[in-house]
Structure 1
Amino acid sequence: MASSEDSNETIFETLRKGVDPKIQEEKLREAAARQDAVNAKERRRLAELIGSNSTLPCTISSIRVLNANHTRRSFIERIFKPIISANKERPFTFAEAIREVSIGADKLHRYDIFHQPISLTIDQPSRTNPFSTPTDVDIYLTVREKSRLRLRTGTDIGNAEGSGYANLLWRNIFGGAETLNLNASLGTRTRSSYQAALEVPISAGSNADLRGEIGGLASSTQNGFASHEEVLKGAWAKARWFGESGARHEFGYNATWRQVTGLASTASPTVRGDAGDSFKSSITHTWIKDRRDNSVIPTRGYFTKSILELAGWGPLQGDVAFAKSEIQTQGALPIPIPGVDGDSGVSLTTGFRAGLLYPLSIGFDFDNKATPSRINDRFQIGGPADVRGFRLSGLGPHDGADAVGGDLYAAGSANLLFPIPRVGLDRPFRFQAFINGGRLLALKGPETTEKGIKSGEAVRKSLSSTIQELGNGLPSIAAGIGLVYAHPAARLELNFTLPLVLRKGEDARKGLQFGIGINML
């Protein structure tokens, strides 16, 4: 089949010769269609061959991967050597041999260093080989390596911020599916952000989904909602894998130096009290299960994500200590319309999020006072990509004009999506009507002092009174209608919002609101 590079070369050649490139492109499409037909015929022939010989004994004498010029031989052998070794104990059936090799080819694909499809060819060893038997077969896998270097630059606009970015991806650095990812961005809110991450397979051959990652970051972000700038410098180490149910796990350690600086002249006493340096040493676990048909505009399925973080407790040290948990869920359901056959394009999406930050004592001083939460670690909710109808971080505790965040929150939404008249269902545009709301609170109670919560018992009493307050009265609520565009990388929304319930001190937004995000509420 002609590649895109071949097509471009042919077009340039025909232009030089004065031939209409449109005619040549049509010929190329016809040739590609003929090649597709040949490939389909070969696949049918292979299926018939397997079907008619599925129970015959078969011994794999060799497995060779062709065109893997930048991939280490030892890396490939760790994937396929167990297959060859296994059939020495007893011969495979022909169907078993194809299945085992296909599993190995799927592992190759999941390392993200080869293009799909990976073609498979079966042949018999040379008749001149005195050690071959009639049941021996040679397996050939023909691959095409992905580009090792990829550089992307561009601009992002959304969430009250504009930025320019550059991304360098270096695949298969040492020939064992290692990946180096470098990111740099400059923007109006995130003034600068630099990240470097190296990802390597932990168990090459046996588990293609078990990966390790080490990385570092340096960033400076202007948090106008709280009159300060936050500077971060840190490093992390992570391990990722998939569980038996298909859920993704990520376990890691983070060490981050944080600085609250660049205070505005109008900064509140709360922000000024948290100004300066802090060091967070924490372990995290993230669990994700995604069963949606589309992550940007789902019409059916569900999504669940939980994040657990433990900082400063026991051997972790640092100068902040807390246990922090957060859960996010989303469900989507198609809605049939009477008189409409098949997919109506109308769907209902509901979402819910909740989080808790629980103060702890630093180190091994388990019975002494717990450290109060800092503005760096508290939750912030509200905004066009979060609880719509409110300004960025517009919900929750405020000190004057500053949103200082909270330790306990809950938020939910319901979105009705329906197609735009005269626009096909396959187009990435939808109308939506929504209602959403949330509540964000700081831990409070009679035991709270200016220097923090003194004991574990006081923390529990404060948490109990705060949870009771969470259910006291209606949360802040907003409703609206808007236009949704499902870009392959993110979801873009332009909504007209109307706040319905607003608590004292919170910051709502009535009128047009533009948002961009991935997992929006």
Structure 2
Amino acid sequence: MPNDPTVKLPFNETPVKVENVHVTGVKRTSSKQLLANLKLIFDATNFEQLVSQIKKSKDTLSRTGIFKKVDVYIDVHSKGGHAVDKTKYDVTFDVVEEKFVKGGVSSLVGTNEGSLLFNLNFPNLFGCGESLTFDYSFGSKNTSGFGSHLKLPLFYNPDWNVLLSTLKYGRDFAWNGTREKTVGPSISLEFPSFVGQHSLKYEGFWNLTECLDSEVSLGIREFAGHRFKSAISHTLKRDLRDNPILPTNGSLLQTKQEIAGFGGDVKFLKQSLDFHYIKSLFFNTALHFSMSTGFLKNFDKPSLNDRFYLGGPLTLRGFTLNGAGNQENGHSLGIESYAGASVNFYTPLPFLNGDSNFSRALKLHYFANFASVGNITKMASLWDNLRGTCGLGLVMNLSNMARIEMNYCLPLRAKHGDRIVHGFQFGIGMDYW
């Protein structure tokens, strides 16, 4: 057998030098934006590094919101149509930019509430991934709103953004008999860290709280009128779930701190924490544990809707929406601290193939939910104010847009004034325990 002079090296030992990076299809994008996102490709010294850097650059370009298509081609560098050195390469990015203006209609889902959102978007406004969006929404609970949002990337990095917004919206809150109108600007800085995704935000909102009818209790009427809220908040979110609606593995940690009182007449300190842990078990089953806590310290009378509310078909099941806690004439006054926990056990339906897409989207679940309001730092108060429910039902992932539950609830413990649901309860939304 003749000797084969060809020596095949592994990718991480194959030397590489990138001579040129070409970008075709560019019309409005700044060269500075492209250089910032592609310059690391020139640092590759072997073929494995080259493929890795190209993949990272393609992912970054796709996340800028500038392009709707990004294709990559690698070729040996040549002069006059002939390869001069097989270790030298040219890389070509073939891109298709987003249109100058685009619009659409989408749906938003809250807890037992649906809305339509109309938006008009101007992507890549100045050539570096900026975008300007105008939106208008109206919903099933007499909600309506208008917003304008200017997103400004920092350092040509799609993960670091400044967001300038102005909002005007109104909404009915049936559980406390009020309607709230809000107008004002906000500015936020969004950035990642090794912990998760951060949002640091300032908002200056004028609020008008009005009573929906003459039967609203005096405790609610005390909150009616005009207020100006000037607040700074920080939100951290670390989401490792395999699905945001019906997960079978992973965890979610979300915390928020808010301080109001930098001017205006609303002054408080607010802290909330939510944690979920989901573990796959045998025969396509999964165990889901979650906990939620919140604390509000008032320095002056807050807006009624800055308080916490407990109860609902997806959280503290077996209670009406926001029907647990302080009540007056059938209206919820909200609470200033709470702690809650839930255990859910998901199983496939017995007559479905557990590996099918439909089976992954529709499951049986058995649940036990507990929550306490009041002074959660004292064990006696924690026990005295404890609420609890258990039950079973069907849970469905609606195309990753919403979670739908149909449950049979058995309230185990409630307090005087709580509005409970003993029997079937239907719920749809995004936030759940």
Q: State TM-score, norm by structure 2.
A: 0.88
| Amino acid in the other structure paired with 2:305 | N
Moved more, 374-383 or 140-149: 140-149
Partners in 2 of 1:50 and 1:303 — Cα distance?
45
Partner of 2:93: 141
1:273 matched to 2:233: no
| Amino acid in the other structure paired with 1:351 | S
Alignment of 1:184-223 (within 5 A): 184-204=136-156, 207-223=157-173
Partner of 1:510: 422
1:252 matched to 2:201: yes
| Amino acid in the other structure paired with 2:217 | S
Partners in 1 of 2:69 and 2:9 — Cα distance?
24
1:354 matched to 2:293: yes
1:323 to 269, 286, 290: 269
Shift of 1:150: 4.5
SS of aligned partner of 1:77 = helix
Alignment of 1:74-223 (within 5 A): 74-81=32-39, 83-84=41-42, 92-115=45-68, 118-127=71-80, 136-146=88-98, 149-153=101-105, 159-204=111-156, 207-223=157-173
Higher relative contact order (CA 8 A, sep 6+): 2
Partner of 1:473: 384
Please tell me the root mean square deviation across aligned C-alpha atoms, in Å. 2.8
Partner of 1:415: 344
Partner of 1:345: 284
Contact kept in structure 2, 1:66 and 1:141, CA below 8 Å? yes
Partner of 2:3: none
1:376 matched to 2:305: yes
Contact kept in structure 1, 2:366 and 2:393, CA below 8 Å? yes
2:236 to 262, 282, 287: 287
Partner of 2:31: 73
Partners in 2 of 1:53 and 1:248 — Cα distance?
34
1:210-237 Cα distance to aligned partner (Å, 9 max, x none): 1111112111111111111111112111
| Amino acid in the other structure paired with 2:277 | G
**Gap change, CA 1:233 and 1:396, over 3 Å in 2:** same
- When you count strand as a share of all residues, which structure comes out higher? 2
SS of aligned partner of 2:383 = coil
Partner of 1:12: none
Structure 2, unmatched stretches of 5+, are 1-6
Partners in 2 of 1:470 and 1:122 — Cα distance?
71
1:305 matched to 2:254: yes
Alignment of 1:421-500 (within 5 A): 421-425=350-354, 426-427=357-358, 428-441=361-374, 467-468=378-379, 470-473=381-384, 475-487=386-398, 488-500=400-412
Contact kept in structure 2, 1:121 and 1:141, CA below 8 Å? no
1:167-187 Cα distance to aligned partner (Å, 9 max, x none): 334432333222333332222
Question: Larger Cα Rg: Structure 1 or Structure 2?
Answer: 1
Provide the aligned length of Structure 1 versus Structure 2: 422
Partners in 2 of 1:507 and 1:155 — Cα distance?
30
1:399-451 Cα distance to aligned partner (Å, 9 max, x none): 2221010110111111111111232332111111212121233xxxxxxxxxx
**Gap change, CA 1:395 and 1:124, over 3 Å in 2:** same
Partners in 1 of 2:351 and 2:317 — Cα distance?
28
Partners in 2 of 1:50 and 1:508 — Cα distance?
72
Partner of 2:4: none
Shift of 1:379: 0.6
Contact kept in structure 2, 1:295 and 1:519, CA below 8 Å? no
Shift of 1:518: 1.9
| Amino acid in the other structure paired with 2:291 | F
- When you count helix as a share of all residues, which structure comes out higher? 1
| Amino acid in the other structure paired with 2:189 | A
Shift of 1:372: 3.5
Shift of 1:502: 1.1
Q: State TM-score, norm by structure 1.
A: 0.74
Contact kept in structure 1, 2:186 and 2:203, CA below 8 Å? yes
Partners in 1 of 2:10 and 2:110 — Cα distance?
58
1:452-485 Cα distance to aligned partner (Å, 9 max, x none): xxxxxxxxxxx68x74554133611122222111
